[in-house]
């Protein structure tokens, strides 16, 4: 291997376990491990590197570069552990010894010590291999433990935790999620913790969906008190339960510096205050008007209509009137067994378009002349929890964009 093709990225790691350990040389996704131990006299550390024959047998991929790699090992041992020291191979060529600064040259190895040095080499080689085996077993055990814990961890899903709101071209929905946990026989639900955030959908782009985590580690009582406190442009004042300001367009929580000095939205007054204090059912009722009320036409479309109502422009105000028409909401089956239908009806009661929303139980309506939105759950199926949905309607064409309100 010539100099132009040698790996340029390499490193030496020293792993200590008391008075001995491993020196690990890594490059190009491969590794060599050598046993080391503290020495005596001028020898600070001895590393069992092996001779050329050992490398050809144990490390064939690096055998031709043995001298280069051993030089790197010595240089790193000195740089990391013995500044101003020196590293030399012993007379057997199997041990890399690191000497302290100013130590005399190593004496030639007497013939009588050659057999002892060879024995020490074999012993240290066995220790190195045993250390690698123990390390591999420890890694496998750790991975198995982590995998087992991961398999046992109950993964949770976030769901709506309060009334949604419009923020410019965005619909924002408070979300509460039980944080993942490992089940146990003595599990105490009082120790459960929740993360809280805002799920944001664009009414213009069906693919645009973002989630902003606002708070984590909250108790169950905290998660039950989340609320949208006000909206001003694209910014949402959100109690989680501490007040935070969320930029809906960027789907991020503003820092204290960014939020400092921002004028809050105007406080509700009069009837609006009472509406905010009302139950979700009463708030929804304030946005619906029956055919015949306030001169609203009776729809001419044939077939059974269950709970037919016109959508108001605002609570207790006149009916929403896109292009002079009205938006009619109704079901063709008993409430929650079928899906809600939205129809655009002209002044005579004739249908301009109609579309099925997929919502069985309607919880919220967010009126808008261009893109009204509806929040609820799918039709009831025995033994299953109905998925919460957001449906945005194009008032001109009747096209429906359906979004799940679950957060994985």
2 inside domain: no
Positions of the chain with pLDDT under 50: 1-6, 108-114, 117
Domain boundary among 235, 267, 299: 267
142 inside domain: no
Same domain, 259 and 294: no
- Cβ atoms of residues 97 and 88 within 8 Å: yes
Domain boundary among 211, 234, 267: 267
pLDDT of 242: 86
Per-residue pLDDT tens over the stretch 82-96: 887 788 888 888 889
How far apart (Å, rounded) are the C-alpha atoms in residues 198 and 245? 11
pLDDT of 143: 62
DSSP 127: H
How far apart (Å, rounded) are the C-alpha atoms in residues 321 and 394? 13
Same domain, 179 and 291: no
Domain limits for position 180: 159-267
63 inside domain: yes
Q: What share of the chain is helix, strand, coil (3-state, %, to 5)?
A: 25, 35, 40
pLDDT of 293: 87
- Cβ atoms of residues 407 and 387 within 8 Å: no
Same domain, 285 and 400: yes
| Alpha carbon 277 to chain centroid, angstroms | 35
Same domain, 176 and 202: yes
Same domain, 174 and 89: no
Same domain, 366 and 325: yes
pLDDT of 197: 92
Same domain, 49 and 100: yes
Give pTM, 2 decimals.
Answer: 0.62
User: Would you call 96 exposed, middle or buried from its count of C-beta atoms within 10 A (0-12, 13-18, 19+)?
Assistant: buried
How far apart (Å, rounded) are the C-alpha atoms in residues 109 and 24? 27
Same domain, 250 and 292: no
How far apart (Å, rounded) are the C-alpha atoms in residues 247 and 232? 10
pLDDT of 211: 93
User: How many domains does one find in the chain?
Assistant: 3
How far apart (Å, rounded) are the C-alpha atoms in residues 189 and 264? 37
pLDDT of 204: 94
pLDDT of 142: 62
Domain boundary among 223, 238, 267: 267
């Amino acid at each position: 291997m010539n100099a132009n093709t040698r790996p340029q990225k390499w490193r030496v790691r020293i792993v200590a376990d008391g008075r001995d350990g491993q020196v690990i040389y890594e490059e190009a996704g491969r590794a060599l491990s050598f046993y080391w131990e503290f020495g005596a006299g001028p020898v600070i550390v001895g590393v069992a590197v092996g001779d050329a024959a050992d490398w050809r047998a144990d490390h064939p991929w690096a055998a031709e570069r043995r001298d280069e790699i051993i030089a790197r090992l010595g240089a790193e041992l000195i740089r990391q552990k013995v500044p101003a020291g020196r590293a030399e191979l012993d007379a057997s060529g199997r041990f890399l010894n690191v000497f302290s600064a100013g130590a005399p040259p190593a004496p030639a190895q007497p013939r009588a010590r050659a057999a002892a040095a060879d024995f020490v080499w074999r012993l240290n080689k066995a220790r190195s291999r045993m250390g690698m085996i123990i390390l591999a077993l420890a890694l496998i055990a750790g991975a198995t433990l982590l995998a087992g814990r991961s398999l046992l961890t109950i993964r949770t899903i976030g769901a709506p935790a309060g009334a949604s709101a419009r923020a410019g071209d965005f619909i924002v929905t408070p979300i509460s999620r039980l944080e993942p946990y490992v089940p146990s026989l003595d599990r105490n639900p009082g120790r459960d913790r929740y993360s809280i955030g805002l799920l944001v959908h664009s009414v213009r782009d069906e693919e645009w969906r973002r989630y902003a985590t606002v708070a984590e580690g909250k108790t169950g009582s905290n998660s039950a008190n989340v609320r949208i406190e006000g909206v001003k442009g694209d910014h949402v004042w959100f109690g989680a339960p501490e007040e935070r300001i969320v930029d809906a367009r960027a789907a991020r929580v503003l820092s204290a510096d960014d939020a400092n000095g921002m004028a809050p939205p105007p406080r509700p007054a009069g009837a609006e205050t009472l509406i905010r204090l009302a139950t979700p059912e009463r708030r929804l009722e304030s946005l619906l008007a029956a055919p015949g009320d306030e001169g609203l036409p009776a729809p001419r479309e044939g077939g059974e209509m269950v709970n037919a109502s016109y959508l108001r422009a605002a609570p207790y105000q006149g009916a929403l009137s896109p292009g002079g028409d009205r938006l009619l909401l109704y079901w063709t089956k008993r409430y929650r067994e079928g899906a809600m239908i939205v129809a655009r009806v002209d002044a005579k009661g004739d249908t301009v378009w109609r579309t099925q929303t997929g919502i069985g139980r309607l919880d919220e309506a967010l009126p808008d002349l261009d893109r009204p939105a509806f929040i609820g759950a799918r039709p009831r199926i025995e033994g299953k929890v109905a998925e919460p949905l957001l449906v945005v309607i194009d008032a001109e064409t009747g096209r429906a964009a359906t979004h799940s309100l679950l957060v994985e």
